[in-house]
Amino acid sequence: MGRVVIYPGSFDPVTYGHLDVLKRATDIFGRVIIAVANNTSKKYLFSIEERVELLKEAAVGMRGVTVESFDGLVIDYARRKKTNVLIRGLRMTSDFEYEFQIALTNRRLAEDIETVFLMPSERHSFLSSSLLKEVAKFNADISSFVPRCVEKRLKQKLGG
């Protein structure tokens, strides 16, 4: 306990699956920096500022959690934050190959930085931000997938 770790991602938007992994990470490590990626090659529904704001609101009351944005490589960000542990969530086996590839690339670039994979609870294991945005377009009830603040903002963005 007491080690600072980084949980990077795009979080567009944050789901209960993300929050489940975040809770597990804080239980194990104590302090987690949620690092919201600003990847210019991706098209986001929410701006970087909105994603940070939504994460702060969704994680309110969670001890040991801070939310920041970053540009560039996550390993460079980790070095600036003086930590060597990255947290990544694995939902389904389909995530594994992609996440494993990223972890190995990061290891090749910075062998002192480790990636720790955490799985959300079974009830959140199928959630993806992309799928959520798709069903939200059709005004589906997404209250069991995302915090109220996210549900409200999704409806505003998508006209639901």
- 51, 88, 91, 153: the catalytic one is 91
DSSP one-letter code for 13: T
Residues 6+ apart with CB under 8 A from 157: 45, 46
The answer to whether residue 124 is catalytic is: no
- 51, 88, 124, 129: the catalytic one is 129
CA distance 55 to 84: 23
The answer to whether residue 107 is catalytic is: no
Q: Which amino acid is at 135?
A: V
The answer to whether residue 129 is catalytic is: yes
- 18, 51, 124, 153: the catalytic one is 18
Secondary structure element (H or E) that encloses residue 32, with its range: strand 30-37
Active site residues: 18, 42, 91, 129
